[in-house]
Structures are given as structure tokens and as C-alpha cells.
Structure 1
């Protein structure tokens, strides 16, 4: 027996307000929808005959998703709700939980008819331009008599009346399928959880994008020009979109959950801030400092809430203080009826009630974004192909040398060259998909500078260059925190206060330059300030006081070595501890995090002139090039990005002093150590006249690592070591050569640290 029909709860929004400033955006969306609807009806009719055509399903889902997103952005909730239900239906078909039949197709066509009628009515309103005003706010009113209830009921009945059928089966299976099987998809617990998780991911991603843009772009523009009307309008649209996404997420949560209650508080903040932005926009107020500070406060609240939702353990964040501050600013603008302020929370509650009433269960909505995991898997597959193509050259050489089959060897080599070309093209294409512009990190920095300027009273300005430089997304995610720390150091330690700058003949406003550029298959990031610089004598004194180095060792150090002392744990030059810096925690972690992604950091400074910090990063971590070497019969790989050169050193040119070896290379004294000794394999190559060495770079200095034999350069794919092997000093992973041999990858940073010990 079928479950009894449940009461259909729908959002019956009969009237929408269209703000005058949003007309251009609305017209843009309407033009897109008209194009979609022209082909949507045909696609749905095709679906009746070809329900297994995934490409056809994807096209329809894409149309519904795009219409849903656009309607949510401009506040046409009827279209948003129906498009959302349409996505649920299509996803159920895709997952074979719903069988396509005539009734279902009819319901989908009702959706198309509703959209056509709605848009026609909308176009009439736009053409008529009957502008209304309420509390100084100008808008067009869209009234629509045709409710969406019929379409929603039809889609709901399709769910209830359709039974999942094995379409691969024959007529002999019909008797089994005719048994009563209640397929109440919308009520299954698995379905509810899947739906909530899918919408949660979309809510977090889209909200974060809007919040970051408001904070790092639009509010910063208003900080320099408080009358930037375009920025004010864009902030309003972004906060309006966040409100729409919040409403959709609320629709799939249970009212008893703590997240639901917290989300209503979040929605209240968003709605109240939107009311303030509406007044600022319509009354053409400037975004003065008090509003700007409030805007950043709202962004901090929104970010904290989103991060809390993203975490496994949600904790509600009190919104009373921020709500009160927003309402005070609403009152300060003046000429606002008290009803707007008093009904802010009431209005929000009504919106929440409408969302609650519209609650329905359905399938996970399809996102058009590509999951990062899929890209990683594709990259891993390409990496395996790179290993496989290296085998062709090994087999070719073996056929020629060991079996004297020169012709066959030549053919294998040709095939290997062909596979090599294809693998390189695939690798480049996947790499281009993974690459993102570094401005996604840069755009956070103006807010950091502004906060420090306000807390310290200094005047400073940030200039950014090369934001369109591209780098692997994995590296972007790991470089963000170190970069913030370095920017904070430049602002707090580097740039002087106004009086000191003026006394030195400098402009009262300090400048910090953040630039990025590509060079030699690497990305370079530079942070340069015109501040006080780093005093090497002070570093030397501080290091001796802390017992980091002795006086004798400090005297022998050059400028680069002294500056590198700031990367030691616990070292700090700050005279006092502040909220910004001074605890001696940070620069060692910065260097460690950069080293983990095969990067290098170099600091150059001149007292009284300023400091420049340069970070060198690889374009990607997926595939690297390295030099294979041999030590005691074992093969190792050195990543090329750390290698300055390879040399042969005469035994007579190696000298010993205080238990350490050194040599002269083009007149410069550099240290030398045997890799076999570092890996506790004993001394090697003591009788040979020449020593093969790899010259590694550690900032401004070079160091020679002696090996038994230098072999060849090749591409390799890093495979991380796990378990008790993961913490082997001097080893960063392993890889597979073309001949099937497993070799270890040397970590040059660890090697140089082991040498120092």
C-alpha cells in the first residue's frame, strides 16, 4: 500500500520587490533564462525517450541550476524554489531512484510553462516601469496570480507515484516489480543526510566567495573612496545572495537542531545588514569610517559562523551585539520609519517560517564545480603514466644492448616518444586546470594592513603586483598563512611610525609592495617595505644573549648567516609583546611550511632603507624533475630546484678544519660532506682522485654533498612514505624509476640541517 498523501507545504510568494538599482542585473538573467527555455522543452521531451542519456540529463540539470542561482541572486523566490525541486527530481532520475514516465514528463513541462508565464509577466513589469517608493526606497512590484503550488504538487505526486524499476530486466520481471514497494524517497534518512550535506557544501562555498569578495575587494575600495556607488551596489547584491543561500540551507534542516537555530541568527544579521545597505544605497550615503568598521565587523561574524558550520562541531555565535550596532547605524542615517527597525527581526522570523513551511525532502543537488579530489585523482593517474613512459626508454636500451635487436629497439623508442608527447600534453592540460591566480591569496592582505595600521596608528599603504600569476591550488592553500605572517612583520616591525619616518626624511606613509612573477619554471613572491630594515648587529647581540650562538661563532658569520638566525625557533627582535607579534613564534614555522612545499625563502635588508623577502615556489607539487645519484650501490634522487650545479672536486682541493670539510669553488669557500656519512653508511670514496658533488643552495650560501656517482636527470612522481618510515630524516618520499626500481627522494633542507648538527 502506498503511504497516505502528505500535506503539501509550499512557499506562496505572490509579490516580489525589484529594486531599481538591480534592473540591469535582472535583465541580464532574464535574457539568459529566455535562451534556456527555448531549448529546455525539447530536451525534456527527448528525456521521455532517452532517460538513460546522461548528457541530456546534465544539460537539463545545468539549465535548472543556472536559473535557480540567478533567481536567488535577484530575490525571485518562486523561481528559486521550483528550480530547486526540479534539480531534486533530475538527480533522482540520474541515481535510478525515479523512473521516467509520462506523468513525470508532464510535471517537468508544467515547470517550463510556469517559467514562461512568469517571465512574460516580469517583462511586462519591466517595460511598464511603474516605480513605487517606500521609506525612500524605489522599487518595482511584481504581482503574479499563477501560484507555483500546482507545479510543486505535480512534482511531488510524481515522486509518490513512480516506482523504481529495473530497466535492464525483461518482461518476466514484471511480476516481481508489481509487488507493493513504497519508494518514499523523500522520507528516507539516507536521502535527508545526503541532501543536507550537499546543500551545506554549496552554502559554505558560495557564502565564502561572497564574503571574501566583500571583505578583500569591495570594502577595501570603499576605504579609499567612500562614495564608490558601484562597490556599495555590489556589496548589497552579495549580501542578498548570501541571504538567499541561507534560506535554501534552512529548508533542509530540522527545526530542533542547534544548527537551524544558529542559522536563523545568522540570517537575522544578514537581513539586518541588507536593510542598512538598502538605506545607504537608496539615500546615496557615503560609506564613512564608522560604516566601514561595522562592515568589517559583520564580515568577521559571517566568516566565524561559516567556519563553525564547516567544522565537525558547530557552536552558535551570539549575534546580539552586532545586530544592535547595525540597528544603531540604521537609526543614525535618519528619515527611516521606526517600523523598519522594529520589524527587522519580525521580518526575518517570517522569512524563516516561510522556509520552514516550504520544507521538502529530496536528492542532492548537482554542483557544476569539479571536486578537488577528482582533479587529484586525475593528476595521480597522469603521474603513473609518466612513470610508465620512462619504461619505454629503458626497454629500448635493453633490447639494443643485451639482445642486439636494434630495429625493435628503434620501434620501441618511437612508441615511447609518442607516449611521452601524449603524457606531456595530458599533464599540461591537467596542470592548467589545477592552476589558480595568486590574487586569491593577495586579496586578503589589504585587510591585514588596514587592521595593523589602525591598531598601531601608523600610516602605510600596500601595493600589489602580479596578482594574475598562476600557481598550483595545493601550493596556494599552504602559502596563505606564511604570507600573512610576513606581511604582518613588514607592517609591524618594518614600517616606522609617522614621527620617525619624517625625522628620517621619508614620506609619512610607509609603503609595502607585494608582487608575484614567474621565472625559470618557478613562482617568486616578494614582500618589500621601505621601513627601518634589519640591524645585523642587533641580531648578533640578541643571538648571543639567548645562547643561540657563541661570540666566536657570531664573529665568523656573514650578513646572510646572521639574518637567517631569525628563522630559529624562539628568536624575536620585538622590544615588546603585542597582539600582532613579539612572542618569537612564527618565522621558524614560516620557513618550515615553505620548505614542506619545496620552496625557499631569502631575506635581504639594509638598515634605514627597508627589507625584501623573496619566496621561491615550484609551479606544482605533483610532478618534479630530479637528478639521480648513486651512493654505496643505492640510487637516490635530488630535486632539481635545490641544485645549483654538479661538479667534480679534486681530492687535493678538499681541506679539513675543526672536524669539518670545506673546499674552494671559484674562489669561494663552501662546506662539503659525504651523503653516505649523513645517512650513517660510513665514509665513502676515500681513495678516488676526484669526488662527485651536488651543490645545494641554502639561501645566500651553497653547500656541497659528495656522492659516489652522478647519473641522469629525469621526471619523477613523489610517493609519500607512511607509518614508521614517514619520519626518516633527510628523506621526503619515494618514487619508481622506469626500470621498476624504487628509489628514495632526498630532502635537501633536512640534509643541510643534519650537516649543521
Structure 2
């Protein structure tokens, strides 16, 4: 009797232990989800408080967020150190509230340092990773600094504790993967279900419909299958791309802290004005863009922005402005970064370029400004005579150029002496599996695919009125006189066939921004969604093309890059009113 009664009791205790572990895991996940939102925005909240140090509402908001972290982490295994940092953070905020103190610069330094340490500790908890010795030492040192912290009016003759110099790191300095929302996961599950249904449909079609006896029915079923497959592929591609994206403000959230730290070190007053950072961008691009902007920010504050006295003498606002604006248009991300400082020193840059043997003195006299300013992207290039902790080694802007080239983008500089400098970055949206909706055509036995987004018009050449100017052939399109040439003519910048031969061909009008080019082809075969494979290092790329694709009949198709193709031309299009002169 006694033996039988003990067995259920042992089993019950075992069940309780299992449930406890499950509950702990569940509590931990709740903490990670809740703390991520708080920590992602903690720096911004601290910087808002710096702008309004007497704002009690801002202090209360920050206090509640830190308090939430401290309270939630208590049930997470291994979260004691994180809880201790949050406790000290909260205690100082509470003291500020109770004693009605304004938030000092020393407090802001300490809070920003705490924010970074809290992020490191939370990341390690989530990944179940042990702290590195230097991370552990830094966290303990931070707690000690809180314990010895004194306000400037506590002890008038006391020596203040050293300002915490927080190292600024990108929020995504470690690849912590991507976060999928429940909605995104459900969408992926839905697509997988549709693929399964389509797979069963294909099996049924091949088993129940005889191609020879029922060709019409088979063709109809095959058409339905193809249409459904195309739809699912488009949805799947779109979903994968969206999963890889996050708001630019998340990728670049370290910038405000970096700007504050750099300005403080150089004893300058700088404000940051970002726009368009709600733009969704690829996470890997965001990480690379952040690294580039780190160098651009430091360069602007060190080289471009004047100190308060100099700005006042020049009649400028005493506080300088760094601005960042982002947008996306036609598959290209546009980044505009700049400052309202003293502009680039053209003469100084040119002098350094000659000294570093980047250009001869004779050639330097003929260089346009745009080419001169590009010297700042050369490795090792610097206009500083003396190396400091901030600059002078010529390291930084070359990283920016490398990033732009990595994504096959472009960079342009505009500067006005004494007023401002602007950097314009144009970066194609990264597509890890690039599917291009294309117009298929043939020319001299080669298959060409032209992106549909750039195709403005298609016509037979026998309806065109053509003119010749020098070594170029032109036709009219939408108020412009535009070049009309086939690929070899574009490459050679010379005409190779007669007008009678042209009349037998078709013209595809490619439009990029305000430029138009009419490309001659022998025939047009229709539309297709093509997977673009970039030219490899072993196979040299063709001028004017972005890569290749394999067609259904296993033939190779060359994918035209409209912008590069237009770039091969050395002639500009002319407005309608110039036709008669031509």
C-alpha cells in the first residue's frame, strides 16, 4: 500500500520540475522580446534627456524603462550582473528625481555607457554565451563608477570622477541573425502550404492527363500550373527580401551617440538632423552603411565643422548641423549626408594629391573639381599634418568608397567653400537572388534581356525618322532626339550599318532618369522573369551588361544594365527644339 502511494508522488514531483524549467524558459523569452524594444531605443531616449535636462517627464520615461529591465531580468538565469547595472542606473535616476536635479553631462556619459553594457549583457544572455574577461571587467567598473558618482555641487572642492568615455559600436556589430514576426512566419507557412498543393497538382496532372489523347486539357492544366508557380515564386522572393530588412534607424541607431562623443572630444557643438530613416533596408547593407557613416561623421566633425567661436565670427549659427537623408527610388537607395561647415579645401587636397604622387603638377591644372575631391577616398590620403586620435592617418574615407563599390553604387561630392559639404551615395537595393522582369530580344544570334522597368517604348524601325550627326544615328522620342544604335555601334562610337538595314530592325527605348537610348535588335521574343548571375572573376564582364541568365532551352542570355549601356555613349540627347539644328 505504501509502495503504491509513493510512486505517483515521485512522478508528480518530477512533473513539477519539468514545468518549472519550461516556465523559466518562457519567462526568459518574454524578457528578451520586451528588453529588445527598450534597449534598441535607449540611446535615443538618453539623448532626448540631454536636450532637455530638466524635463521631468523624460526622466520618468527613462526611469520606467530601466526599472522594467531590472524587474524583468530577475527571473532569467544568469541575469544578475545585468540586473545590478540596471539597479545602479535606476538608483541614480531616482536620486535625480527626488533631489530635483538637472541631468548633467557626466550623467549622460554614464547613462550612454550603461546602455551599451546592458545591450552586451542582454545579447550574451540570449545567446547563452559567457562574457569575455574585458566585458566582465567593464561591467564591474561601471557599477563601481555609479557607487562613487558625485554631482558637481555635492562637494565643491572635490575632484570629480573621470568622464566615462563610451566606445560607440553599431547595434549590429555582431551578426545576431534576423527576427521574424509572427505575421512573417505565418506568411512563410502559408507559402509552403501553397507549394505543397502545387506539387500535388503537378503529380495529378502528369498521372491523370494524357498529353497525346487530351492535348488541349494538358495545355490548359500546364498553363494553370505555370501561372500559379510564377505567383508563388514572386511572393516567396518578396517575403525573403522583406525578412532581411529592417528600418534604417535601427541599423544606424549608434550615430547620434557617435556624433555626441566626437563633438565632445573635439570641443565642438553639433546637432544631428536625420530624415527618412523609417526606410526599410537590407540588414547587411545597413551594417556596411553604418561603418561608412562612422568615418564620414568623424571626418565632417574633425575637418569640416568649425568651432563655436569661428562660426560666430563668420556669422553662422554657433551650433553646426550634420544632416542625413535617405530615400529609395526605382530600386536605388539614395543617401545624402553632409554638414554646414567650411567645405572642402580644394587647393589643400590638390597639393596633397601632387605630393603623394596621385597626379602630376601638369595634369592637376586641368582636373575638374569633382575629380579633385575624389582624392579624399584614396587609401592613406589626409590633409592633416599631425596625426591625432581622431584623424591624420588617412584611414576612413577609403572604407566609404570600398563599401559603395561593393554594392556597385556611386558617390558624388558637392561643396561650397565656407558653407557646406554634401556626399550623395546611390546604392542599388541588394538582391541576394536577383530576379529581373525582362524583355527578351535577339541580335546577331545573341540573346539580350532588357529590364522592363527601364523599357519606355518598343517600335519597328520602319516607322522612325532618322538623322545622322557625326558618327551617331538619331531618332525622335517624346520630345527628345535620342541615339539609335546597335551594341557594336555603341561600343565603337561609330555607325556600321545602313539606314535600309536599320529599317528591318526593331528599337527598344531604354530610359534612365532623364536619359534615353534606342537599342537596335533583330527581333523581340517576349517577356520572362530571369535569375541574374553576375559575371564571375574568371569570366570578364561585358561592357553595358550586369550578368547572364540561362533560358528554358538552356541557351545563355546576356542581361543589359541600362545605366551602364547609356554610360558607354559620349553623346548627349537633345531637346525637341534642337532637332532642326541637327
TM-score with structure 1 setting the length: 0.51
> Could you tell which deviates more after superposition, 591-600 or 460-469?
591-600
1:223 and 2:50 are equivalent in the alignment: yes
1:536 to 327, 346, 358: 346
Q: Which residue of 2 aligns with 1:327?
A: 147
Shift of 1:448: 1.7
Change (3 A) 1:270 1:532: same
Instruction: Tell me, yes or no, if the aligned pair for 1:569 and 1:588 is still in contact at 8 Å.
Output: yes
CA 1:633/1:494 → structure 2, altered by over 3 Å: closer, same or farther? farther
C-alpha distance in structure 1 between counterparts of 2:489 and 2:122, whole Å:
49
Shift of 1:456: 0.8
- Looking at structure 1, the residues matched to 386 and 451 of structure 2 have their Cα atoms a distance apart, in angstroms, of 41
Contact 1:449 1:460 in 2 (8 A): yes
Compute the displacement of 1:246 (Å). Answer: 4.3
Correspondences of 1:182-221 after superposition (within 5 Å): 207=35, 209-215=37-43, 217-221=44-48
CA distance in 2, matches of 1:432, 1:595: 24
Displacement of 1:547 after TM fit? 1.4
Aligned to 2:286: 476
| Deviation string, structure 1 residues 449-473 (Cα, Å, up to 9, x no partner) | 2111101111221112223333344
Q: Counting helix residues as a fraction of each chain, which structure ranks higher?
A: 1
1:631/1:675 contact within 8 Å kept:
no
TM-score where L is the length of structure 2: 0.64
77, 86, 90: which one pairs with 1:250?
77
**Aligned position for 2:210:** none
- What does residue range 161-200 of structure 1 map to in structure 2 within 5 Å? none
2:89 to 273, 285, 288: 273
Please name the residue that 1:298 is paired with: 114
The answer on 1:625 being equivalent to 2:429 is no
Tell me, yes or no, if the aligned pair for 2:548 and 2:559 is still in contact at 8 Å.
yes
Bigger relative contact order (CA 8 A; separation at least 6): 1
Aligned residues of 1:730 and 1:748 also touching (Cα < 8 A): no
Give 1:284 deviation, angstroms. 3.8
Cα 1:435–1:298, aligned 2, differ >3 Å: closer, same or farther? closer
SS of residue paired to 2:148: helix
Secondary structure at 2:41's aligned position in 1?
A: helix
Between the aligned partners of 1:322 and 1:747, the Cα distance in structure 2 is: 54
Match for residue 158 of structure 1?
15
Cα RMSD (Å): 5.8
Secondary structure of the structure 2 residue equivalent to 1:329: coil
How far residue 616 of structure 1 moved from its aligned partner, in angstroms, is 2.5
Q: Which residue of 2 aligns with 1:513?
A: 323
The equivalent of 2:132 in structure 1 is 315
**Aligned partner of residue 421 in structure 2, secondary structure:** strand
What does 1:17-416 correspond to in 2, within 5 Å?
156-158=13-15, 207=35, 209-215=37-43, 217-244=44-71, 246-250=73-77, 264-305=80-121, 314-316=131-133, 317=135, 318=137, 319-329=139-149, 369-370=180-181
Cα shift at 1:243: 3.3
The answer for the alignment partner of 1:613 in structure 2 is 423
Which residue among 378, 381, 394 is the counterpart of 1:568? 378
Q: Give the alignment of 1:577-592 within 5 angstroms.
A: 577-592=387-402
For the residues of structure 2 that align with 1:649 and 1:557, how far apart are their CA atoms? 35
Matched, 1:527 2:334: no
Quote the Cα distance in structure 2 between the aligned partners of 1:311 and 1:552. Answer: 62
* Correspondence 1:449 to 2:259: yes
Give the length in aligned residue pairs.
493
Moved more, 553-562 or 422-431: 422-431
Shift of 1:487: 2.7
Distance 1:588 1:749 in 2: 24
d(CA) in 1 for partners of 2:423, 2:523? 33
Kindly indicate whether the alpha-carbon contact (under 8 Å) linking 2:489 and 2:495 is maintained by their aligned counterparts in 1: no
What do residues 120-142 of structure 1 show as CA deviations (whole Å, max 9, x unaligned)? Answer: xxxxxxxxxxxxxxxxxxxxxxx
Q: Aligned equivalents of 2:124 and 2:144: distance in 1? A: 22
Q: Distance in 1 between matches of 2:219 and 2:242?
A: 34
| Unmatched runs of 5 consecutive residues or more in structure 1 | 1-102, 104-149, 163-184, 252-262, 335-366, 389-404, 655-665, 678-682
Please say if 1:653 is aligned against 2:493.
no
Deviations 1:590-643 (A, max 9, x none): 232234334332222222221111222345525453767879966576879999
Distance 1:501 1:421 in 2: 59
CA distance in 2, matches of 1:332, 1:268: 25
Gaps of 5+ in 2: 1-7, 155-177, 200-214, 473-479, 569-582
SS at match of 2:403: helix
Q: Is the 8 A contact 1:524 1:614 kept in 2?
A: yes
Shift in Å at residue 290 of structure 1?
1.8
**SS at 1:512 equivalent:** strand
